[in-house]
Amino acid sequence: MLTAEERYALAQAMLADTIAAVRGAQRADEVLVITNYLPAMEIAARHGWGVLREENQVSESASVDFASRLCAERGVTALLRVPLDLPLVQPGDLDELLSTECVAPAVVMVPSRDGSGTNAILRSPPALFPSHFGPNSFAKHRELARQAGAAIIVRRNPRLELDVDDESDLRALLGHDLTHTATGRWLEESGVAARFKTRAISV
């Protein structure tokens, strides 16, 4: 449904919304960006966030685990991972997760809307168990947490649960009020929203 250029622009818009949410969160002691992508490093610098620089990027799971190990070595006791494709996320959603009372070893998880993926995960300690993002990751993380003897806390949040991986996710997103989001503005200005509505009518 989207060209390569449109996918890139959509990702940029969702990143803007995620940045706004992270900037507004009050409960985070520190924000870190794990990347080897120069524009992402520049964004982090503009907001005063730390950068954990990778030499090579293998996968999201490997990146998060690399960052988790570094954070653990620095004395970080709990680490929340959020991806960029959560255009509905609000600062309060992040603060709610960060304020969850849990004594290590523990994990706080938010599933994707289909219950298969892991859209947010807070581990205490950070490297409690390896990451397995992708299909069936929620079940994998839950089992790894059980094996680690960790307390498992599941939080349901419709804004955090809606990530954008495919056409069905984008259609679900368009059913929400996106008035005050960068993603919503881009979807309207690019004509993508109208295209999806036209396709729905013709089908």
Per-residue pLDDT band for 199 (boundaries 50, 70, 90) equals low
First CA to last CA distance, the chain: 14
**Does 7 score more than 80 pLDDT?**
yes
Are the CB atoms for 66 and 52 separated by under 8 Å?
yes
The domain segmentation of the chain, as residue ranges, is 4-202
What's the confidence (pLDDT) of residue 126? 97
* H-state helical runs in the chain: 4-24, 38-47, 60-73, 91-98, 137-147, 158-161, 167-174, 182-189, 192-202
Summarize pLDDT for 25-67 with one digit per residue, the tens: 999 999 999 999 999 999 999 999 999 999 888 899 999 999 9
Share of the chain above pLDDT 70, in %: 98
What is the pTM assigned to this prediction? 0.91
pLDDT single digits (tens) 128-177: 999 999 889 999 999 999 999 999 999 999 999 999 989 999 999 999 99
Share of the chain above pLDDT 90, in %: 89
Tell me the torsion sign for CA atoms 140, 141, 145, 148.
Answer: positive
Domain 4-202: CATH superfamily, name plus number: Spore Coat Polysaccharide Biosynthesis Protein SpsA; Chain A (3.90.550.10)
